[in-house]
Amino acid sequence: MNADRRHRENRRGVAKLAAMALLSAAYLGLAAFRRTFTGRSALDGILGVVIGLYVCSLPARNFLSLLIYWRTEGIRFRTRRQLFWWLALNAVILISGWLVIVVGMTRFTAGHP
């Protein structure tokens, strides 16, 4: 795998993770500033859990891919520092997705607004 292809693949991965971060930030922002955005707290909660699971799916896939195919995936990163930042970014997105799930479950189990 040549360096240019690795660079494009890494940039595409970061762009996907940034999109997941925006999606989770949008839900958390709506949840923080609006009492309900669909009219029903149960529906808000279901939507939050689904969005949270979707956000968590990409970093989980990246972690599993790195764990299973560590030789081929590890080649994508020239230095350990790049690998560290890639793992840190995935961890942050995974935590933000988990936070969306928690907020969604809280809304789902809350009483009527």
Tens digit of pLDDT for each residue in 70-92?
777 667 777 788 888 888 999 99
Quote the pLDDT of residue 79: 79
Quote the pLDDT of residue 1: 52
Dihedral Cα 56, 62, 68, 71, nearest 10 deg: -170
Quote the pLDDT of residue 37: 83
Quote the pLDDT of residue 81: 86
Domain membership of residue 40 (yes or no) is no
Quote the pLDDT of residue 103: 94
Q: How far apart are CA 109 and CA 106, in angstroms?
A: 5
pTM for the whole structure: 0.85
Q: How far apart are CA 45 and CA 100, in angstroms?
A: 9
Instruction: Give me the domain span that covers residue 7.
Output: 3-31+45-109
Number of domains in the chain: 1
Domain membership of residue 90 (yes or no) is yes
Domain membership of residue 75 (yes or no) is yes
pLDDT tens figures, 18-72:
999 999 999 999 989 988 888 888 898 999 999 999 999 999 998 888 888 777 7
Domain membership of residue 81 (yes or no) is yes
Does 108 or 6 have the greater pLDDT score? 108
